Structure 1
């Protein structure tokens, strides 16, 4: 238990709690914003907004062609402050060029919808501004992280998200859709108040990393994020194709709580990412990290699953009304799947990312998505909605074991 106490002390010493709680606040703000806009917008406006938001979600992981992910990983690896600044400047300038290209492609997508939805170009335009704002926000956040300023990262994240949701609520209330679009388009640019010009003045392009390796990592990080998002969209799309809207509603209700429990593991590991990247060749550190992670998250996972199992019907009734209480076994299957996800996929996927093996993440994410489609094609027709729950859980668990196997091979090769 002594090693666990040291592990937790190091987490607080690195100000990891600031990152953890800022990401938690960001998630709460996003939920509140979504809940509010659903209530105040007419169905037709919300429908059009949802179309653009879905396209936006596809483009967001490719922000700067992965320049921010590369900055976080490679900037964490080097201990030289001058090299960090040089890398940040290079990735900001080069990434911004790619971001403009990406934003132009995003805006061009609107022309596929203009004939059917006459006001959609205007919505796409405001989301394009938001896409550029996100680029600056993510870059500045990554820069704070590589210099070990987790408190600064938390401050900028909290300001952008809290003020963002306040602006969204006020402007949406008084100006409807136009107010909402203005709020989401311009609030990410609040991050520019923390832009450190000193890091970019008279900084030569001088760093030891191979540029091809930097961009390969960034693109694979973007692809992995996209495939992970696709995994949690493909289940609904397959279910809507194989069954009906009632089945989709029951499944969405059953998965909502299980899918969100992984936030605990994800935010915890994101808080530790720079430390993990710095120690990517330290076999003892990585081995101890896995052991201590399990000391925390095995009890948490067992507790979550036990509470969910005992009070499954009550939980569904409390949060979603009594008409969804019959989905309790679907809920349990998914809860078990996501608990295993925390212990396998979340852990080893983030470790592989931190040690620079992002390509493995991309391959396994693709295989996991393929397995989901394969399993659901057989199981949904036989078992209905619970067949989809089994398909998703099995896919995540198999994908998690593949990631674990890949990381253990990497660990074994370290001296």
Structure 2
């Protein structure tokens, strides 16, 4: 009954549109990856992916994490004018910070002696994606704050459509250079399409009253948390490239991890629709308890079905990408088991920690996980290859999820038991 009510509430907040948009986004991301591997030689694609994974963990830190401050603190504001004023502030400050970060990355990329040829050049160009991606993220967040989840969904759909079309056309004609270009221009064009729909007065110069040290601190820790979280996903790629010195192994691991990581769209989809709502009701212990119980029941069921399917069909699934990937089916299934720890625990409790203003706990947990990741992979990758990286990642997905749950329950009781 709780699960049924949970899903119904999700649908009432235009969750159906969010689901469709997220599904289309995942599908088109899959297609973009498939097109890339068809048109770009594995060696060159591996180098591009190596460079992109460096950018991937920096993307959430563009704007110093102010987009995360926008959604949490924006949810506390009552009027549309206040929320629009806050958006204008975040846009201007975040854009300047993003430009600075891009400049630093480009200088680093052109000076650092990478193992693979052209890595620095690809990294320098891919750094440009930080700017349009930041703008697109705050546009989506503003729609969520306005309870316009349909428009939020349309941003996702249009960006995904542009991405898959540009990857198809540009990768076919220009190979890896076309792929890099597609990744940059898709969010840029999407942002131009939607920013006018927000009706923001950018000339408004009064500093929002909600801006204080805690606003910047929250954004900073959100950025750090997102960086270390993404690093947990990409550090395997980086260490495989470093320890095995084989760009084709980098490509193989990237592709066997696509489906396990793509299933994470499910918790993100629910959180995208629900974060503003449960943040507004965070002090209501009964509401949070029911929400948590319903969420965990739903995603435990999803995890069982997901792992059951790939226990039997791992090889057939990898064969859709490339026959050469079938030999990595064990690593694929290990990663599939690992993501269940995120589905059941971390996707929920990591966001609940953010909702109560304890985003730094996520940062500390994930930072510890990174240390474990590096130590473990330096031992396991030389022995077991990419299976060693899969084992480490799977363990850490459960480790971070369970510890997030423990910390949230402790802090929540401490903060609200007397209310």
Q: Scaled by the length of structure 2, what TM-score is found?
A: 0.84
Tell me how far apart the structure 2 counterparts of residues 46 and 253 of structure 1 sit (CA, whole Å).
11
Structure 1 position 358 matched with structure 2 position 359: yes
| DSSP-derived class of the 1:363 partner | helix
Q: Given the superposition, is the C-alpha separation of residues 113 and 242 from structure 1 closer, same or farther in structure 2, using an over 3 Å criterion? A: closer
Match of residue 234 from structure 2 = 233
Give the Cα separation in 2 of the matches to 1:208 and 1:162: 38
What is residue 17 of structure 1 aligned with on the other side?
A: 16
- Give the match's secondary structure for 1:344: helix
- In structure 2, the residue matched to 1:301 is 303
Return 381-390 or 301-310, whichever deviates more: 381-390
* Aligned-residue offset at 1:358: 1.1
CA distance change for structure 1 residues 383 and 152 in 2, over 3 Å: closer, same or farther? closer
CA distance in 1, matches of 2:251, 2:49: 17
Q: 1:208 to 1:279 in 2, by over 3 A?
A: farther
Q: 1:277 aligns with which of 276, 279, 282?
A: 279
Deviates most, 142-151 or 120-129: 120-129
* d(CA) in 2 for partners of 1:309, 1:11: 30
Q: Which has the larger radius of gyration?
A: 1
Report the alpha carbon displacement of residue 58 of structure 1 after superposing the two structures with TM. Answer: 3.8
With 47-56 and 135-144 compared, the bigger mean Cα shift is at: 47-56
Contact 2:34/2:321 (<8 A) preserved: no
In structure 2, what is the Cα distance between the partners aligned to 1:320 and 1:176? Answer: 18
Unmatched segments (≥5 aa) in structure 1? none
- 1: CA distance between counterparts of 2:382 and 2:116? 36
Query: SS of the residue aligned with 2:147?
Result: coil
The answer to whether 1:219 aligns with 2:220 is yes
RMSD across aligned C-alpha pairs, in angstroms?
3.5
Q: Map 1:101-112 to 2 at 5 A.
A: 101-112=100-111
State which drifts further: 167-176 or 257-266: 167-176
Per the alignment, residue 264 of structure 2 pairs with 262
* 240-249 or 23-32, which deviates more: 240-249
User: What is the alpha-carbon distance in structure 1 between the residues aligned to residue 271 and residue 250 of structure 2?
Assistant: 32
Indicate yes or no: 2:80 matched with 1:87.
Answer: no
1:192 corresponds in structure 2 to 192
In 2, the alpha carbon distance for the partners of 1:241 and 1:96 equals 33
Q: 1:31-63: CA deviations, max 9, x gaps?
A: 323332343345676466445424432432221
Q: CA deviation at 1:118?
A: 9.7
Q: TM-score, normalised by structure 1?
A: 0.85
Residue pair 2:51, 2:123 contacting (<8 A) in 1 also: yes
What's the offset of the Cα at 1:231? Answer: 1.5
The structural deviation recorded for 1:131 is: 2.6
CA contact (8 A) 1:364 1:399 kept: yes
CA drift at 1:98: 0.9
For residues 156-208 of structure 1, the C-alpha deviation after alignment (integer angstroms, 9 at most, x for no partner) is: 22223213432443344445566555544333233223224743256453544
SS in 1 for 2:101: helix
Equivalents in 1 of 2:66, 2:395: separation in Å?
33
**Residues 136 and 192 in structure 1, CA contact (< 8 A), matched pair in contact too:** no
Change (3 A) 1:355 1:239: same
1:129 deviates by 4.2
TM-superposed CA distance for 1:376, in Å, is 4.2
1:301 & 1:387 partners in 2: Cα distance? 22
Change (3 A) 1:376 1:210: same
Specify the alignment match of 2:7 in structure 1.
8
Q: Which moved more, 1:353-362 or 1:378-387?
A: 378-387
- Give the whole-Å Cα distance in 2 for the aligned partners of 1:385 and 1:175: 30
* Mapping of residues 311-350 of structure 1, within 5 Å: 311-312=313-314, 315=317, 321=323, 324=326, 329-350=330-351
Contact 1:78 1:278 in 2 (8 A): no
Q: Which region of structure 1 is more displaced relative to structure 2, 118-127 or 177-186?
A: 118-127
Of stretches 176-185 and 60-69 in structure 1, the one that deviates more from structure 2 is 176-185
Aligned residues: 413
Contact 1:85-1:203 within 8 A present in 2 as well: no
Shift of 1:286: 1.4
SS in 1 for 2:78: coil
CA contact (8 A) 1:352 1:361 kept: yes
What is the CA–CA distance in structure 2 between the aligned matches of 1:412 and 1:94, rounded to whole Å? Answer: 36
Quickly say closer, same or farther: Cα 1:52–1:241, change in 2 above 3 A: closer
Cα shift at 1:290: 0.5
Q: Which 10-residue stretch deviates more, 115-124 or 359-368?
A: 115-124
